[in-house]
Amino acid sequence: MGSGRDKRKKAKGKVPGHGDEKTARKTEINQTKAERRTARKLEGGEDDLDALLKSFELQDKKAKEIIVVSNADPPSPRLFATFTPVPGPKDRTNILLFGGEYYDGEKDKMRVYNDIYLYHPDKNTWTQVMSPHGPAPRSSHQAVVQKGYLYIFGGELTSPNQEKFKHYRDLWRLNLESYAWEQLPGRAGPNARSGHRMAVHKDRLIIFGGFHDNGKQTQYYNDLWVYDLPELSWRSVGKAGSNGPSPRGGSQLTVHGDRLFLYGGHTVVVDKEDKSEMERVHDDLWALDLQTFKWERLKKSGMAPSKRAGFGMVTHRDRALLFGGITDRQGAGDKTYSELYNELYQLDLASQRWRPVTMKLSKADKASSNAAASSSASEAAQPGQPEASSSGRPQSDAEPTAGVMRPDMAQYLAKGGMDKESAIYKAITRIQSHYRGYAVRKAYKTYKLGGSASELLYSPATYGIDLSHKDMPRPRARANPMMAVVGNTLWLLGGLVEVAHTDVTLDDVWSLDLVKLNGWRCVKENTEGEEAFVDEDWETDEGEEQDEDDEDRSD
């Protein structure tokens, strides 16, 4: 047998099955076997995250090169992706979308992505980039840009059946010229987490907070980490402690000069006795000195947004812009519902004062808006109709009794915000004065301004926002919008709408000129039709409504 092998060695040229060809063939066979083993393992349960990640890894190894597809179809609807302005060729700025997740209600499965899309605002087109050997699929991660690279940290992978979660602590960067991925050293860095926030200051990445869910309990963080980009090393700045923000996820950060501002966030608190969970939503504002790393709590000043979670926030010049969000409300009986917002606020980063952003309508638009609003309000403000509060929640003992207007609202209107004799003024006065907190959703259906319920009627901080005529578009109220600023334009992509017990993931695109403020522009309609937003579960029979209305008015 030995002589036979020696003879074959002496044959001229390459013999099939030997050398590089043999190695490649073995590699292919082994990879096929690994795929089969992974497939068999996945048949035993889709919640095996190790098998799921192995499957991703095997698919990734098949990709040999970076592929860029111009004029691609828009990305599929998703939540908790990053939407980051990045430099492009010829001094253009694009917006890079990475990752995210989508819940397929029909199949009851969760999909998690690690794809890359570039949105070109000047052309309203998308480019898809397929770059292998990068981060595993994830959502609720963070991304920032610094000197030609996109940096991504953390996030989570949810199994298709949503039974298991894996949180990441890896740090990656994407070369924005070649679109090649590189994993950076991460020793002695933050532990695995999602829902954290990351900002860039000079040559440093700043990370705050987030949470980790191990399936048994969820731990929230308020630690602060700094990554030195030249040195490629982590440094812990410690926990905020009693002199800084409490542990939380979902806050928002913005850097202004040598100060970092932090607003809001949420924490899930578990009752020790019955183990029930309750979400605690924060609306505190903090400033961090990026030289001394000392926190300072700032007083709420101006007309701040109402308490909410799931809002988006971006920076434009010397202000932070906040849009959307969600608040859980108690409805009639044991029902609960989610109140969504489509207000736009700004925080002046120099004075630390809040105020709503008001659209600057033309004279023709103002005349049309006032006529439409007055007509609609006249129809709504009829005796016997359900009445609503300014905040959309039950009045406390400290709030005005029937017939008395809230002082802050009266002060605003007295300064010329609205004609006291107008029908809309009278409708708002009635709503502000009498509502006892029942059936906010009925109030939304009853009091309509220009074809859409105005949050002016429900949130005291939003006086004067967008009393636009019925033909002037604006984004649907939503949670978790993805936002980016390019030049002087705000871009908004997608978000979440809760309709009864169903979540609708949006993929519409809107833009707003932040200098002209001449109204929102819908760049892409939502894929889901209007039928997806019909809330049939909240309808009640007339007798039930009448009884509760009578009880409401008898208080």
Cβ(341)–Cβ(477) below 8 Å? yes
Give the span between the Cα atoms of 368 and 266, in whole angstroms.
Answer: 41
Mean pLDDT of 346-357: 95
Confidence of residue 425 (pLDDT cuts 50, 70, 90): low
Residue 324 lies in a domain: no
Residue 142: predicted pLDDT = 98
The string of pLDDT tens digits covering residues 157-169 is 999 998 889 999 9
Residue 473: predicted pLDDT = 82
Give the span between the Cα atoms of 51 and 37, in whole angstroms.
Answer: 9
Confidence of residue 219 (pLDDT cuts 50, 70, 90): very high
Q: Are residues 473 and 528 in the same domain?
A: yes
Confidence of residue 495 (pLDDT cuts 50, 70, 90): very high
**pLDDT above 80: residue 337:** no
Of 160, 184, 208, the residue at which a domain comes to its end is 184
Task: Provide the residue range defining the domain that includes 463.
Answer: 352-555
The string of pLDDT tens digits covering residues 66-78 is 999 999 999 999 9
**pLDDT above 60: residue 336:** yes
Residue 485 lies in a domain: yes
Q: Are residues 512 and 439 in the same domain?
A: yes
Phi, psi of 408 (to 5 degrees): -70, -35
The string of pLDDT tens digits covering residues 102-157 is 999 888 899 999 999 999 999 999 999 999 999 999 999 999 999 999 999 999 99
Mean pLDDT of 14-34: 55
Mean pLDDT of 23-35: 59
**pLDDT above 60: residue 427:** no
Residue 469: predicted pLDDT = 39
Vertex 441, ends 440 and 442: CA angle to 5°? 90
Helix (H, G, I), strand (E, B) or coil at 200: strand
**Residues contacting residue 257 through CB under 8 Å, at least 6 positions apart:** none
Q: Are residues 49 and 156 in the same domain?
A: no
Mean pLDDT of 16-31: 56
Residue 244 lies in a domain: no
Residue 315 lies in a domain: no
Of 140, 157, 184, the residue at which a domain comes to its end is 184
The token pair at 228 is: 């030195």
Residue 461 lies in a domain: yes
Confidence of residue 365 (pLDDT cuts 50, 70, 90): low
Q: Are residues 28 and 159 in the same domain?
A: no
Give the span between the Cα atoms of 142 and 84, in whole angstroms.
Answer: 10
Residue 344 lies in a domain: no
Q: Are residues 88 and 41 in the same domain?
A: no
Q: Are residues 412 and 442 in the same domain?
A: yes
Detail the DSSP E strand segments found in 55-203.
67-72, 82-87, 93-98, 101-104, 109-112, 116-120, 125-130, 142-146, 149-153, 156-158, 165-167, 171-175, 181-184, 197-201
Q: Is the model more confident about 441 or about 176?
A: 176
Indicate the burial class of 504 (C-beta count within 10 angstroms; 0-12, 13-18, 19 or more): middle
Entry pTM: 0.75
Residue 385 lies in a domain: yes
Most confident range, picked from 18-27, 111-120, 375-384, 411-420: 111-120
In sequence order, the β-bridge partners of residue 355 are: 346
**pLDDT above 90: residue 542:** no
Q: Are residues 463 and 475 in the same domain?
A: yes
Q: Are residues 503 and 366 in the same domain?
A: yes
In sequence order, the β-bridge partners of residue 145 are: 150
Helix (H) or strand (E) holding 25: helix 19-43
Q: Name the nearest CA neighbour of 458 among 542, 387, 384.
A: 387
Cβ(313)–Cβ(305) below 8 Å? no
Least confident segment among 29-38, 40-49, 99-108 = 29-38
Residue 288 lies in a domain: no
The string of pLDDT tens digits covering residues 236-258 is 998 776 789 999 999 999 999 99
Q: Are residues 374 and 402 in the same domain?
A: yes
Tally of domains in the chain: 3
From residue 396, give the alpha-carbon distance in Å to each of 393, 436, 439.
9, 9, 16
Give the span between the Cα atoms of 294 and 287, in whole angstroms.
Answer: 8
**pLDDT above 80: residue 97:** yes
Q: Are residues 29 and 159 in the same domain?
A: no
Helix extents (H) in 63-215: none
Q: Are residues 41 and 75 in the same domain?
A: no
Of 46, 62, 78, the residue at which a domain comes to its end is 62
**pLDDT above 60: residue 513:** yes
Q: Are residues 56 and 81 in the same domain?
A: no
Average pLDDT value for the chain:
77
Helix extents (H) in 303-422: 363-380, 407-412
Mean pLDDT of 334-361: 88
